[in-house]
Amino acid sequence: MKSTHPRCHPARLFLLLCFVNLTPAICSQPRQPARRDRQSLMATAREIMKTARYCALITLDSSGRPHARTMDPFPPEENMLVWLATNPKSRKVGEISHNDHVTLYYFVSEDQAYVAISGRARIVRNSREKARHWKDDWKDFYPDRNYLLIVVRPEKLEVVSVKRGIIGDSIRWAPPAVTFKSRKLK
């Protein structure tokens, strides 16, 4: 006579064994990162930007192709405005004049951290701003101080820092982000 006790039923025993074997795999699945508040993300972004020092400025040419170049930006201002300098004859001046959508990308490999700022850029020729935004490190590039400024107003900031536990979601890999109110640059 067959036992009807649940512990002895082969199908139930099989399902129980399958569940027990899957438990470690389920427990080891990557968890969703903790939600980070705006201030924490911004503070981390500033730290990454300072550590990276250099960034890539990505612009679009008239046919929509992206162009990236290494830049030496100033640290971000309180509202995450970023200032950079360039040669007045550089391609980026024409590209920004044609399409002001840009991306700044900062990367720190040893921390597995990056910041990507997408926003709007504006060319600044104002001599007061140029005097305010000058680095002595630039004197070899601009010996006669013949340069223009680019100011980038962020619309969206994405930040990842594995070291600080700030990572994207495990399914889409979408990084934590901060959205800014869009205002036209003056």
State the first-to-last Cα distance of the chain, in angstroms, to the nearest integer: 89
What are 129's two structure tokens?
A: 């701003």
How many residues in the chain?
Answer: 186
How do the pLDDT tens digits run along the chain, 186 residues long? 554 554 544 444 333 343 344 334 334 434 444 457 999 999 999 999 999 999 999 999 999 999 999 999 999 999 999 999 999 999 999 999 999 999 999 999 999 999 999 999 999 999 999 999 999 999 999 989 999 999 999 999 999 999 999 998 889 989 999 999 866 655
What domains can you pick out in the chain, each with its CATH number? 34-179 (2.30.110.10)
For residues 133 and 74, the answer to whether their CB atoms sit within 8 Å is yes
Chain centre to alpha carbon of residue 45? 8
